[in-house]
């Protein structure tokens, strides 16, 4: 990178090292002059060093490193999204601190995407010096007074005044409307404010003023207002840069990189507060004697060193100090000075801007210096111009180095090789110093060549931007309210869950007694869990979950070996004729036998059939009704074992001995019971949901015998089909049910299981979109498609790490334009829906466990639950929330959840093995 030669050069004006075209060269004799200007020359290497050191400080601060204290603060601003133009409404804006000794009140009307731009109405008020240096209460009362004066002077509507407070000083923000002042800068030093929440101080002053009820909705730094105010163009403004009386920048950082924040999702605007960058190592070599004396005389010596080399409050003073220095050494004004030249602050920013302006400069130099009581000659005027140019060139280059650090940080934060970004600029230095902007741009291109940067001047100094933040804050607040209202019915209280538990107990008792109940409590003729003595080879079928599987299960002394194959059940078969379905099943069995070299062998077969069946025996099961998207004709009311045997018969030359039909809950319980004999409950939370458990035979009406146990298939998916859960059902549940192939059925399942959660989420997203809360209110075609939002998305979206990037990826795949607020809301919707499902499921297990404890008259019951199902297994929080809810609702039960490794096929084989063993025993 070529940064050779003195300040001002051909290649680009102000490029470090080369003399400036069009400006007279200092007479050779003035080595003093050269030495003086030399002090303000910053080399390319020095700029790169500053860039690197500032970047390092920024990252130290982001990581929350405390000691050594980073040179910059990197303050999160709670602004998490850049405006998306839908903001509407009238907002009051109070700007304090950006423009030095003045504050500004604005009335900004935002008209949304299609509205025409309404010019803000504003009024500027000069802040008396004694107020800037007096008591804090005086300053805020002054601000409240200006607000009242503005409102009295401008015919604006009085209802629900929402105010955005632009407070341009370093603050610790703890919310969009909570901000504590760290330290004053730029000529302010009011007492009793540092360490205080400035929003509260303003609210108190407005209350004391009592003329108007104004709701202070948001407080923002002026850099944020500048960034937010830039017109949405080709690319979003993600950096805000202010060079006014002071200087600072903000940019959109990935929230997960900001240690101070407890959320790692989305982006957050960070105010760099680079004014305090004073890293002696990097800055030392470029600090001049003039900088030191300016700092020494300032209100805050030792602080804001970087700002004092760039900010408009200081450039004039630097020039003045240099002119005094050169005058006293006879280089300027014939060695004469003047009282005005010797008085601090007599040369202002606008003076410097005018004097260094090559076109109008020399005449203006004369006029300004004469106003300061000096009588400059032509060469004086030219030398003064050089001094102005040197001071401003350095300021622009240093500002460029700082901006290049922010761009480098953005690149790292976005893991982008090539960064495309727009930088919103604001402040008097930009407005008055065209040369400053050009040098800044050129130097940034040299220091950050891989970044494609465009500069967007802020149109009204950030007032609109502050209104945008206020609108965003107001919008976020109203969206949050609408989101909470929408999700509130999903947040079940302890009382509601206990009511579900009690309702389930009641339905269980009725179902066991054979009375009308939404819980059919079906006897399964499985009376015992395996005792480990089972032996042999068995075929097993597993139908009803995500996959249809055929298994060969070898139960031997050393344990159980399983060989299985997954086959698909096309929707047309699942919803075709029963004959077609069972023929398809037999085809798969034959294919499996051929592959396993079992053809011609008639192994005992256990059939896991995961649908509600009234069993008349171990190998007799009348299908009561299909669930989970199955709807094959001619099966309901039929004995599915007969249907299978019929298909086997139709396929000559196949020998199969169907011994048992079991529900997947039973298969899962048996499978886990083989390892843990205390496993007496089976739970499925997959495509569908259901549970079974070992009930006292005496409690099972319709089955002979009253000692011992029998496994009961609860078919809890149908719980609430009698309307007993309607108090929990939301409009989203109702629309999912209405759209299902079995409306009014499986209501509990439709609030819990994998086949439906994605659909519930999709419909909530559509609802929130219609409220304008999501996706800018734009209804997205793709999201209208049923089942487009898979339940597995919930598991991915709610996974703890990287959630938001995954949210984005998933939703972008769905063609949904996504803001990070949207992403966070989608995440909250998923969480609300899955948490309700898990807590309802937990209430169900608690009901079963408590029933068993009471059955056995135990103070405390220890029991294990065998669990299977994709949702339970894959969702990052489902299982722990189920367990927590069981502990909450059944504190006298110690319940262990065992995830079934081999699925219920093994269980079906074990049930078959037990049946064969029992049959063997009766035969001998
Ligand atoms: C695996 C079991 C099967 C059960 C399924 C449920 O082997 O019997 O039906 O889990 O989970 P899903 O596949 O529906 O997620
Ligand atoms: C303040 C910043 C502000 C900047 C520009 C600095 O003195 O610390 O908060 O953004 O001036 O106004
Ligand atoms: C069925 C149950 C099955 C559950 C889990 C429900 O739809 O009715 O028989 O156990 O899904 O697969």
Max avg pLDDT among 433-442, 621-630, 835-844: 835-844
Q: What is the pLDDT of residue 589?
A: 93
Contact between residue 611 and residue 578 where contact means Cβ atoms under 8 Å apart: no
User: Long-range contacts: 725-729, Cβ < 8 Å, 24+?
Assistant: 725/500, 725/503, 725/751, 728/489, 728/492, 728/496, 728/500, 728/840
Mean local confidence (pLDDT), 466-478: 86
CA of 904 to the centre of ligand 1 (A): 7
**pLDDT tens, residue by residue, 557-600:** 888 899 999 999 988 999 899 999 999 999 999 999 989 998 87
Model confidence at 8, pLDDT cuts 50, 70, 90, reads very low
Mean local confidence (pLDDT), 222-249: 88
- 306 is written with which tokens? 């970087």
**pLDDT tens, residue by residue, 832-885:** 999 999 999 999 999 999 999 999 999 999 999 999 999 999 999 999 999 999
The one catalytic residue in 610, 753, 820, 904 is 610
Query: Sign (positive/negative) of CA torsion 307, 313, 316, 318?
Result: negative
Rounded Cα distance between 380 and 341, Å, is: 14
Question: To test the ligand 1 pocket, which listed residue (540, 545, 871) has its Cβ within 8 A of the most ligand atoms?
Answer: 545
Cβ neighbourhood burial of 673 (10 Å; 0-12, 13-18, 19+)? buried
Max avg pLDDT among 431-445, 647-661, 681-695: 681-695
List beta partners, residue 29: none
**Is 880 designated active site?**
no
Query: Residue whose CA is closest, atom 5 of ligand 1?
Result: 545
Q: What is the pLDDT of residue 82?
A: 63
Q: What is the pLDDT of residue 12?
A: 46
CA of 903 to the centre of ligand 1 (A): 7
Q: Is the CB of 544 under 6 A from ligand 3?
A: yes
CA of 904 to the centre of ligand 3 (A): 12
Q: What is the pLDDT of residue 482?
A: 95
The one catalytic residue in 256, 549, 762, 836 is 549
Rounded Cα distance between 398 and 278, Å, is: 12
- 776 is written with which tokens? 């800018």
**Which position has the token pair 């240096």?**
133
Query: Residue whose CA is closest, atom 9 of ligand 2?
Result: 169
Query: Residue whose CA is closest, atom 8 of ligand 2?
Result: 169
User: What is the percent of the chain where pLDDT is above 90?
Assistant: 65
CA of 619 to the centre of ligand 1 (A): 21
Strands 893-899 and 861-868 turn out to be parallel
- 527: pLDDT strictly greater than 80: yes
- 655 is written with which tokens? 């020998």
List beta partners, residue 893: 861
Rounded Cα distance between 21 and 12, Å, is: 10
CA of 517 to the centre of ligand 3 (A): 17
**pLDDT tens, residue by residue, 186-212:** 999 999 999 999 999 999 999 999 878
The one catalytic residue in 197, 295, 664, 868 is 664
**pLDDT tens, residue by residue, 301-355:** 999 999 999 999 999 999 999 999 999 999 999 999 999 999 999 999 999 988 8
Question: To test the ligand 3 pocket, which listed residue (684, 791, 900) has its Cβ within 8 A of the most ligand atoms?
Answer: 684
Mean local confidence (pLDDT), 914-922: 75
Model confidence at 520, pLDDT cuts 50, 70, 90, reads very high
First to last CA, the chain: 95
Judged by DSSP in three states, 588 sits in helix
Query: Sign (positive/negative) of CA torsion 884, 886, 889, 893?
Result: negative
Mean local confidence (pLDDT), 516-526: 96
CA of 636 to the centre of ligand 3 (A): 15
Rounded Cα distance between 74 and 69, Å, is: 12
Max avg pLDDT among 2-6, 146-150, 500-504, 578-582: 500-504
**pLDDT tens, residue by residue, 165-184:** 999 999 999 888 999 999 99
Q: Decide which of 883 and 655 is more confident.
A: 883
CA distances, 706 to each of 200, 695, 863 (Å): 72, 11, 22
Q: What is the pLDDT of residue 5?
A: 45
Rounded Cα distance between 402 and 55, Å, is: 8
- 422: pLDDT strictly greater than 80: yes
**Which position has the token pair 């805050």?**
300
Q: How far is CA 369 from the centre of its chain?
A: 57
Q: Which of 398, 442, 168 is nearest to 305 (CA)?
A: 398
Q: What is the pLDDT of residue 847?
A: 98
**pLDDT tens, residue by residue, 877-911:** 999 999 999 999 999 999 999 999 878 888 999 88
Contact between residue 627 and residue 742 where contact means Cβ atoms under 8 Å apart: yes
Q: What is the pLDDT of residue 417?
A: 64
Q: What is the pLDDT of residue 143?
A: 96
Rounded Cα distance between 754 and 717, Å, is: 12
Q: Is the CB of 715 under 6 A from ligand 3?
A: yes
Mean local confidence (pLDDT), 471-488: 90
Judged by DSSP in three states, 790 sits in coil
CA of 573 to the centre of ligand 3 (A): 18
Query: Residue whose CA is closest, atom 8 of ligand 3?
Result: 611
543: enclosing H helix or E strand: strand 536-543
Three-state SS string over 208-235 comes to HHCCCCEEEEEEECHHHHHHHCCCCCCC
Contact between residue 688 and residue 627 where contact means Cβ atoms under 8 Å apart: yes
Judged by DSSP in three states, 417 sits in coil
**Is 610 designated active site?**
yes
Question: To test the ligand 3 pocket, which listed residue (690, 749, 754) has its Cβ within 8 A of the most ligand atoms?
Answer: 690
**pLDDT tens, residue by residue, 103-124:** 999 998 888 766 667 788 899 9
Rounded Cα distance between 481 and 435, Å, is: 48
Model confidence at 17, pLDDT cuts 50, 70, 90, reads very low
DSSP state letter for 238: E
Count of Cβ atoms closer than 10 Å to residue 281 Cβ:
10
Atom of ligand 1 nearest to the CA of 542: 8
Most distant CA atoms of the chain, gap in Å: 130
357 Cβ partners below 8 Å, 6+ apart?
364, 435
Nearest ligand to the CA of 183 is 2
Cα 663–Cα 665–Cα 667 angle in degrees, nearest 5: 70
Query: Residue whose CA is closest, atom 3 of ligand 3?
Result: 610
CA of 271 to the centre of ligand 2 (A): 9
**Whole-angstrom Cα Rg for the chain:** 38
Atom of ligand 2 nearest to the CA of 186: 7
897: enclosing H helix or E strand: strand 893-899
- 645 is written with which tokens? 């045997």
Average pLDDT over all residues of the chain: 89
Q: Which of 540, 804, 828 is nearest to 666 (CA)?
A: 540
Mean local confidence (pLDDT), 9-21: 45
Q: What is the pLDDT of residue 23?
A: 46
Nearest ligand to the CA of 562 is 1
Rounded Cα distance between 871 and 689, Å, is: 10
Task: Output the ligand 1 site: residues, CB below 6 A.
Answer: 542, 544-546, 608, 610, 664, 667, 684, 686-687, 754, 868-870, 903-905
Rounded Cα distance between 646 and 138, Å, is: 94
Alpha helical stretches, state H, 731-819: 731-739, 749-752, 754-770, 791-797, 803-813
Cα 268–Cα 273–Cα 276 angle in degrees, nearest 5: 155
396 Cβ partners below 8 Å, 6+ apart?
14, 433, 435, 436, 437, 439, 440, 443
Question: To test the ligand 1 pocket, which listed residue (606, 612, 684, 907) has its Cβ within 8 A of the most ligand atoms?
Answer: 684
Contact between residue 752 and residue 546 where contact means Cβ atoms under 8 Å apart: no
Atom of ligand 1 nearest to the CA of 905: 7
Q: Which of 885, 888, 848, 884 is nearest to 865 (CA)?
A: 848
| Percent of the chain that is helix, strand, coil (3-state, to 5) | 45, 20, 35
Count of Cβ atoms closer than 10 Å to residue 666 Cβ:
33
CA of 214 to the centre of ligand 2 (A): 25
Cα 297–Cα 301–Cα 302 angle in degrees, nearest 5: 140
Q: Decide which of 110 and 540 is more confident.
A: 540
User: What is the percent of the chain where pLDDT is above 70?
Assistant: 93
Rounded Cα distance between 369 and 358, Å, is: 17
Rounded Cα distance between 79 and 77, Å, is: 5
**Is 379 designated active site?**
no
Model confidence at 24, pLDDT cuts 50, 70, 90, reads very low
Provide the whole-model pTM.
0.79
**pLDDT tens, residue by residue, 777-816:** 888 888 899 999 999 999 988 887 666 667 777 788 878 7
Cα 225–Cα 227–Cα 232 angle in degrees, nearest 5: 120
Q: Which of 690, 580, 702 is nearest to 630 (CA)?
A: 580
DSSP state letter for 817: -
Q: Quickly list DSSP for 702-726.
A: TSS-SSSEEEEE--GGGTTTTTTTT
Q: What is the pLDDT of residue 18?
A: 44
Strands 88-96 and 102-111 turn out to be antiparallel
């Amino acid at each position: 990178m070529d940064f050779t030669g003195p300040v001002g050069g051909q290649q680009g004006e102000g490029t470090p090292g080369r003399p400036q075209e069009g400006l007279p060269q200092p007479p050779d004799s003035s080595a003093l002059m050269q030495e003086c200007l030399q002090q303000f020359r910053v080399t390319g290497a020095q700029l790169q060093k500053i860039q690197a050191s500032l970047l390092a400080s920024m990252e130290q601060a982001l990581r929350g490193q405390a000691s050594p204290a980073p040179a910059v603060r990197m303050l999160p601003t709670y602004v998490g999204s850049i405006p998306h133009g839908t903001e509407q409404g009238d907002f009051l804006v109070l700007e304090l601190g950006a423009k030095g000794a003045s504050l500004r009140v604005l009335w900004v009307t935002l008209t949304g995407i299609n509205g025409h731009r309404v010019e803000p109405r504003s009024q500027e008020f000069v802040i008396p010096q004694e107020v800037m240096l007096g008591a804090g209460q005086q300053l805020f009362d002054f601000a409240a007074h200006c607000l009242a004066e503005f409102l009295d002077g401008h015919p604006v509507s009085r209802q629900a005044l929402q105010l955005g407070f632009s407070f341009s000083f370093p603050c610790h923000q703890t919310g969009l409307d909570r901000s504590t002042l760290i330290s004053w800068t730029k000529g302010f030093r009011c007492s009793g404010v540092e360490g205080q929440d400035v929003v509260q101080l303003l609210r108190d002053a407005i209350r004391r003023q009592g003329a108007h009820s104004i709701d202070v909705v948001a407080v923002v730094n002026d850099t944020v207002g500048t960034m937010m105010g830039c017109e949405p163009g080709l690319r979003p403004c993600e950096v805000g840069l202010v060079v006014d009386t002071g200087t600072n920048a903000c940019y959109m950082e990935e929230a997960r990189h900001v240690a101070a924040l407890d959320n790692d999702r989305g982006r957050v605007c960070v105010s760099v507060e680079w004014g305090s960058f004073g890293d002696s190592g990097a800055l030392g070599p470029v600090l001049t004697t003039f900088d030191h004396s300016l700092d020494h005389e300032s209100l805050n010596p030792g602080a804001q060193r970087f700002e004092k080399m760039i900010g408009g409050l200081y450039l004039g003073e630097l020039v003045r100090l240099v002119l005094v220095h050169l005058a006293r050494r006879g280089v300027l004004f014939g060695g004469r000075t003047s009282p005005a030249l010797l008085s601090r602050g007599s040369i202002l920013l606008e003076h410097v801007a005018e004097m260094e302006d090559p076109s109008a400069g020399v005449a203006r130099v004369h006029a300004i210096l004469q106003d300061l009581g000096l009588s400059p000659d032509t060469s004086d005027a030219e030398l003064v111009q050089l001094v102005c140019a040197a001071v401003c060139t350095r300021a622009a280059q240093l500002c460029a180095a700082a901006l290049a650090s922010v761009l480098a940080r953005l690149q790292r934060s976005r893991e982008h090789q090539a960064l495309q970004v727009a930088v919103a600029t604001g402040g008097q230095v930009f407005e008055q110093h065209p040369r400053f902007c050009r040098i800044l741009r050129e130097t940034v291109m040299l220091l950050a060549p891989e970044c494609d940067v465009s500069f967007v001047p802020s149109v009204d100094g950030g007032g609109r931007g502050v209104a945008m933040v206020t609108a965003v804050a107001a919008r976020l607040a109203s969206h949050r309210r609408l989101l909470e209202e929408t999700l509130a019915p999903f947040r079940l209280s302890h009382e509601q869950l206990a009511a579900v538990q009690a309702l389930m107990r009641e339905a269980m008792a009725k179902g066991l007694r054979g009375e009308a109940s939404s819980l059919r409590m079906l006897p399964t003729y499985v009376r015992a869990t395996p005792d480990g003595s089972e032996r042999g080879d068995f075929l097993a079928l597993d139908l009803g979950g995500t996959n249809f599987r055929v298994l060969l299960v070898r139960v031997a002394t050393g344990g159980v070996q399983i060989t299985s194959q997954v086959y698909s059940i096309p929707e047309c078969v699942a919803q075709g004729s029963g004959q077609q379905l069972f023929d398809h099943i037999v085809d798969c069995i034959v294919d499996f036998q051929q592959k396993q070299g079992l053809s011609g062998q008639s192994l005992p077969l256990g059939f896991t059939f995961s649908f509600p069946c009234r069993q008349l025996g171990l190998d007799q099961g009348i299908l009561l009704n299909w669930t989970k998207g199955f709807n094959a004709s001619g099966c309901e009311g039929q004995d599915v074992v007969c249907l299978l045997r019929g298909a086997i018969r139709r396929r000559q030359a196949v020998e199969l001995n169907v011994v048992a039909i079991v529900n997947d809950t039973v298969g899962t319980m048996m499978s886990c019971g083989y390892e843990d004999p205390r496993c007496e409950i089976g739970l499925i939370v997959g495509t569908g949901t259901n549970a079974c458990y070992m009930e006292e035979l005496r409690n099972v009406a319709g089955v002979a015998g009253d000692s011992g146990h029998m496994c009961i298939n609860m078919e809890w998916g149908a719980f609430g089909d009698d309307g007993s859960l309607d108090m929990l059902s939301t409009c989203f549940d109702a629309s999912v049910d209405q759209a299902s192939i079995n409306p009014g059925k499986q209501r509990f399942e439709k609030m819990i299981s994998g086949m439906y959660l994605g659909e519930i989420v999709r419909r909530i997203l559509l609802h929130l979109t219609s409220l304008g809360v999501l996706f800018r209110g734009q209804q997205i075609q793709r999201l209208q498609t049923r089942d487009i939002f898979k339940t597995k998305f919930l598991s991915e979206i709610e996974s703890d790490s990287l959630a938001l990037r995954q949210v984005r990826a998933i939703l972008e795949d769905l063609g949904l334009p996504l803001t990070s607020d949207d992403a966070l809301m989608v995440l909250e919707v998923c969480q609300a829906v899955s948490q309700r499902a898990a807590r309802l499921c937990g209430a169900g297990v608690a009901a079963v466990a408590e029933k068993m404890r009471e059955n056995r008259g135990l103070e405390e019951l220890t029991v294990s639950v065998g669990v299977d199902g994709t949702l339970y297994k894959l969702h990052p929080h489902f299982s722990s929330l189920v367990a927590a809810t069981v502990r909450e609702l059944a504190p006298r039960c110690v319940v262990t959840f065992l995830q079934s490794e081999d699925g219920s096929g093994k269980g079906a084989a074990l049930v078959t093995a037990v049946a064969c063993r029992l049959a063997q025993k009766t035969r001998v």
